[in-house]
Amino acid sequence: MLWGEGFPLGDNVMAVIPVAQIIYPDGTNLEGVGVKPDQVIELEKDDLLNGVDTQLQAAVDFLRSTINR
């Protein structure tokens, strides 16, 4: 996870150049690691081909459950 500066190259095109690395006070660096999810939802090709996005559905279900509390 890097901080970047954007430079327009033309219509609807921009280059983003990393200019700083973010390291948290406890030494945590997210570069190359990312944020670990609380819940892993597999995304299967066959599900997608059948019009089922398991990750999207899990996100919708989670949001609905938080709204209805």
Could you give the residue ranges of the DSSP H alpha helices within the chain?
45-49, 54-67
pLDDT at residue 68 greater than cutoff 70: no
What separation, in Å, do the N-terminal and C-terminal C-alpha atoms of the chain show? 33
pLDDT band at 2 (very low <50, low <70, confident <90, very high): low
Mean pLDDT of 43-56: 94
pTM of the prediction? 0.50
| Model pLDDT, residue 5 | 87
| Model pLDDT, residue 1 | 57
Q: Give the burial string for 14-24 (b: 16+ CB within 10 Å, else e).
A: eeeeeeeeeee
